[in-house]
Amino acid sequence: MGTIERVIQAVLFEVLAVTLSIIGLVLFTDHDIDSLSETMIVIASIAMVWNYLFNRSFDRFAKGSKAKRSFSLRIVHVILFEAGLLFFTIPVMAYILDVSLWQAFVMDLGVTIFITIYAFMFNLIYDHARVFVLQNRVVNA
């Protein structure tokens, strides 16, 4: 997968993740939508950079077809990605929303649990859709 496709994948992932996360946070916190939107856009920006760097490194470790990755490897992928992201996002969330690190941790953990499930499903669907598109390109060429 080249750099342009990685950027497209990361942007698509983040746009959907931000939208769904803001909706969830509005429903479960007392913060206004403007503050939550700002927070999630900053966190999404951090996540896009992390997504690119982490997945590039992970792909060097996990060789072979992405569509053939095992269930357990996909779980390891998501857990490592989200744990690394928490390291960067908890202080940012605490600062922007003016909450304690503990409150930011709890909020970010809720988002992370959602995003972990979302990331698993997104990457599984993306990898299989990518194979389908590439195979159809070859057939139609």
- At residue 141, the pLDDT reads 60
CA distance 123 to 120: 5
User: pLDDT (tens digit, 9 = 90+) per residue, 29-53?
Assistant: 889 999 999 999 998 889 888 988 9
Using the structure block, give the residue that is written with the tokens 């908890």: 90
- Angle value at C-alpha 71, between 69 and 73, nearest 5 degrees: 60
Q: Is the pLDDT of residue 133 over 70?
A: yes
Give the closest residue to 26 by CA, choosing from 91, 87, 110. Answer: 110
Tell whether pTM > 0.75: no
> What are the pLDDT digits (tens) for 79-97?
898 889 999 999 999 999 9
Alpha-carbon span 39 to 97, nearest angstrom: 7
DSSP H stretches of helix in the chain: 3-28, 33-61, 71-97, 101-140
Neighbours of 55 (CB within 10 A): 19
CA distance 20 to 43: 13
Longest CA pairwise span in the chain (Å): 57
The answer to whether 92 touches 42, Cβ cutoff 8 Å, is yes
Q: How far apart are CA 86 and CA 103, in angstroms?
A: 13
